[in-house]
Structure 1
């Protein structure tokens, strides 16, 4: 605990100047953050003395978010020989294992199955890792939260930001592999930044929800791990609807319906369509994915901002 406290103090000293430029102030030692404990009171739900909308407050702290993203990346690859290269090596190693299992042993009927696999695996890793790391973000930064008044949403969002950097870098080996196996490069690849934006919006909303719920219920971590393991196989990461074929059983029909309503089916398709099929995703799918991502972000940010004043009681 003492070590964690010293780390929190050191981090607070580095963060305080950046936060101060954004409008925050440090808390005197021993002073509780009373501005955010009472709903309905002036300043309730806000982490700075000024009364501003939560969204504008968060935008004003974009420099702090950028600093925390860099810190996340430095801590994650500290004393690592390969450093950021692991963002490229991890998906490649997983791809080798899954490609052997699905294309060689299970004989998956797909040409260039490694490309097909990576086009679903990369966005899935972005989604799952960001959530699993982000749900701890408030707990991990509790010492900083006690010392400097900042919008608490910057912590889960900085985790999403660092994983977005990893996600973007992971396209380097994917594009190289496409060249090696002579997968066609089409103009549809220019859609990838849009796909990344939609994915980031959706993941940010989900991460905000998990981060605030974890403060109150620590079992959320274990539930999330199990749920993500199940969801990986219930989402079109390793397969698509065409590979499933047709089976006249009630459970198979139910599974196909589940895939059609599963938001990850549309989100993963935003990457797979331009990378593997060389085509733009259908406009209806893009519209549904965009609307769903914005709705999830709105819900996640609203719930997080509503519950953030109570976090201090459970840290």
Structure 2
């Protein structure tokens, strides 16, 4: 409760950092903010070419099947890999002034979340134009799964950002981990394609439930199963609690370590 009150008092600082990140991300770029939409579209094109044309997998409307999971994955992976340095990049601020250190990963993840929401501005029209359409009842669950993923991403960003202050190699290790994590998550394939004997292991991956829920809502146009949502909530909240504890312990010596 004390932390929540502190974060509320520093809400203007959080909003300021989010605005600065969104404005400065593509500063000096010719296409600027258009990269928010172009980046996922280019990745979509590459994956579609490989898995729909070259390595045919037989999934109907594969580009849609992929797109609705790729956007959430880009958000999560960016929060993990980029979130690792969100404290390091603001080390002068950390050393000179007091503020709840949780502000930095919170602002970083929030700016990435805004980017994901903007990307969904492209996803929804594509679903409609393609003839796939959307189910209004199923879509009402979309904000819920977004909040769950946001919680998970924030927990991961807090955890890795705190560890990186003490272990600088974490930033580079996470590049390999996120790449492997993507292939261990149902981004480019369906969880049904995973052999049954090892499927329980895949379900331990929190992103499995989250991506399955996104795909249920937007591709299959159905309400996610209660077990899928419950699994995602438990893992998201569980990781957040662990991250808050670790971050609190490690943040006490951030200034000295930086």
Task: State the alpha-carbon separation in 1 of the partners of residues 15 and 108 from structure 2.
Answer: 10
Match of residue 104 from structure 1: 53
Correspondence list, 1:27-66, <5 A: 53-66=2-15
Match of residue 236 from structure 1: 186
> Which residue of the other structure, out of 153, 167, 173, is the alignment partner of 1:203?
153
Give the ranges of 4+ consecutive aligned residues of structure 1 lying more than 6 Å apart after TM superposition: none
> In the alignment, is the contact (CA less than 8 A) between 2:185 and 2:207 conserved in 1?
yes
Task: State the alpha-carbon separation in 2 of the partners of residues 300 and 72 from structure 1.
Answer: 23
> In the alignment, is the contact (CA less than 8 A) between 2:94 and 2:254 conserved in 1?
no
Would you say 1:295 and 2:238 are equivalent positions?
yes
Task: State the alpha-carbon separation in 1 of the partners of residues 135 and 71 from structure 2.
Answer: 19
Task: State the alpha-carbon separation in 2 of the partners of residues 62 and 284 from structure 1.
Answer: 35
Match of residue 164 from structure 1: 113
Per the normalisation by structure 2, the TM-score is 0.95
Task: State the alpha-carbon separation in 1 of the partners of residues 203 and 92 from structure 2.
Answer: 43
Match of residue 29 from structure 1: none
CA deviation map 1:166-215 (0-9, x unaligned): 00001122122212321121111222111111100011011100000000
What number of residue pairs does the alignment pair up? 257
Task: State the alpha-carbon separation in 1 of the partners of residues 161 and 192 from structure 2.
Answer: 36
Task: State the alpha-carbon separation in 2 of the partners of residues 241 and 79 from structure 1.
Answer: 41
> In the alignment, is the contact (CA less than 8 A) between 1:109 and 1:243 conserved in 2?
no
Match of residue 23 from structure 1: none
Task: State the alpha-carbon separation in 2 of the partners of residues 107 and 180 from structure 1.
Answer: 24
> Which residue of the other structure, out of 61, 84, 88, is the alignment partner of 1:135?
84
Would you say 1:283 and 2:226 are equivalent positions?
yes
Match of residue 24 from structure 1: none
Alpha carbon RMSD of aligned pairs, Å?
A: 1.5
For structure 1, the 5+ residue unaligned runs are: 1-51, 247-251
Match of residue 30 from structure 2: 81
Match of residue 69 from structure 1: 18
Task: State the alpha-carbon separation in 1 of the partners of residues 192 and 53 from structure 2.
Answer: 19
Would you say 1:253 and 2:253 are equivalent positions?
no
For 1:108, what is the secondary structure of its paired residue? coil
CA deviation map 1:39-82 (0-9, x unaligned): xxxxxxxxxxxxx8223212221221111011111121212233
CA deviation map 1:259-289 (0-9, x unaligned): 1222111011221111100011111211121
Would you say 1:122 and 2:71 are equivalent positions?
yes
For 2:132, what is the secondary structure of its paired residue? coil
Structure label with greater radius of gyration: 1
For 1:280, what is the secondary structure of its paired residue? coil
For 2:58, what is the secondary structure of its paired residue? coil
Task: State the alpha-carbon separation in 2 of the partners of residues 126 and 265 from structure 1.
Answer: 15
For 2:189, what is the secondary structure of its paired residue? coil
Task: State the alpha-carbon separation in 2 of the partners of residues 241 and 131 from structure 1.
Answer: 22
> In the alignment, is the contact (CA less than 8 A) between 1:235 and 1:262 conserved in 2?
yes
Task: State the alpha-carbon separation in 2 of the partners of residues 55 and 302 from structure 1.
Answer: 14
Task: State the alpha-carbon separation in 2 of the partners of residues 119 and 66 from structure 1.
Answer: 28
